[in-house]
Amino acid sequence: MADKVKVGVVGCGVVATAYYLPYLMRHADLVAVCDLSAERTAECARIFGVKEEYQDYFEMLEKADIDAVFVLTGPGTHKTFTVAAAEAGKHILLQKPMATTLEDVNAIVKAVRDNNVKAVIEPSLQSPLQPVYQEIRELVKAGALGDPYWFSYIHTAPDHYHPSLGGNPYGVGAFYSKDSGGVLFDYSYWSSDIVSTLGACKSIMAMSKLSIPERDLVPDAEYTEYLKTVTDPDDANYWDVVIDKPKTSKITMGADDNVYVLYEMQNGYLGSMHVGRAFHPVPPGMSGGGFRVFGHEGNMVFGYKGNRASIISERKDLLPETDEHGWYHIPPKVKKSVPWPKPGGYNYYHESSKHLLECIAEDRDPVINVEWGRHVTEMLTGAVESAQTGQRYEMTSSVDI
């Protein structure tokens, strides 16, 4: 890339400083950062060498010489910020979830397409952009599982006590507040995973409730104080320190935290998804959940012994190889130098950033574009509507994968 893409970032939160800003400072021209907190923008400018700081997003759009905007703010701002960026002719990376209502999602799609800008809709994790999913999807389409039967997706609880039990230890806006959409919208990864594996969704039925309204979090001010101690841009992950900080800030949940969804897929699969954060671990060595698909002629499980997927099938002619028990294992297929959440993992923040920069340079539409994002997100907004009305929700969008 001869000339680096000029980027502005709105939202100087935990994922921005841990993942996006370290990548962008090396692979893009990191022109500006914007956040309501002047202390946070100042620290980001110091740590990552950002040229300009703003507290007003619309001022950044007007004054900063940028080609693209990374929208890393709370879900309640996504429609307003993304539409404004598109109308200003800026390309966009939009952190998940795309939005929390279908009306806002459709407004984003229209603005992006009307203004002919590129938009990557997160997450790229468990999406067609993640290389391993091409093989997974092709095996399902080829008939490795046989006729569609059923699937289940449930939150995986660790087999030991961990600070993430019960939810993120920080950030009221991190799916605790009303405009964040709640815990369901934190897991757009899962609807992406289901579609990436099984194809488009047809209809939805759901139930939800607010089960544990009172929560304890680490005060938000602790994150700002943490940034003041950072000297290495590659060592700015708040998770590394917040897990040891006391949760002294009491909050009340503004959205449901316990959601059970039934999906009918276009190819005939019926499946369930439960979203909720366990407060205690499962027994040592036990799997606390995950994604499992059952067909007439085979089964697929995700995450077994570190593999992305493992398949057992009567159609052994479709499997490149099998172990002594008849299973074909598909490893994550990523470089060891790309850590998320640990060495050998898939760093979706970096891969998504790279994808947007390449799509801008090569003038091509992203793989995880606004239509993809709309379908994945409608699987969440549709669940909310079904839970509220008690009626089946029929999907209005589709994708071909």
- For the stretch 252-295, pLDDT in tens is 999 999 999 999 999 999 999 999 989 999 898 887 779 999 99
Each domain of the chain, given as residue ranges in start order, spans 6-124+347-366, 132-346+377-394
Average pLDDT over residues 389-398: 98
| 6-124+347-366 CATH | 3.40.50.720
Burial of 285 (0-12, 13-18, 19+ CB in 10 A): exposed
Average pLDDT over residues 212-232: 96
Which comes out higher in pLDDT, residue 155 or 201?
201
| C-alpha distance from residue 191 to each of 94, 216, 280, 389 (Å) | 17, 28, 25, 21
| Sequence-separated (6 or more) residues with CB below 8 Å from residue 356 | 68, 91, 92, 93, 118, 120, 366
**Amino acid (1-letter code) at residue 45:** A
49-70 confidence digits (pLDDT tens): 999 999 999 999 999 999 999 9
The band of 305, judged by pLDDT with boundaries at 50, 70 and 90, is: confident
Tokens of 338: 């790309």
Q: CA of 271: how far to CAs of 44, 91, 297, in Å?
A: 43, 36, 17
Under 8 Å between Cβ of 243 and 169: yes
Residues 83-104: pLDDT tens digits? 999 999 999 999 999 999 999 9
Q: Is 136 within 8 Å of 196 (Cβ atoms)?
A: yes
% of residues, the chain, pLDDT over 70: 96
Predicted confidence (pLDDT) at residue 341 exceeds the cutoff of 90 = no
Task: Find out whether 214 and 250 touch, Cβ atoms under 8 Å.
Answer: yes
Just give the CATH number of 132-346+377-394. Answer: 3.30.360.10
Q: Are 53 and 38 in contact (CB under 8 A)?
A: yes
Q: In the predicted model, is pLDDT for residue 13 greater than 50?
A: yes
Q: Does 345 score more than 80 pLDDT?
A: no
Average pLDDT over residues 371-393: 98
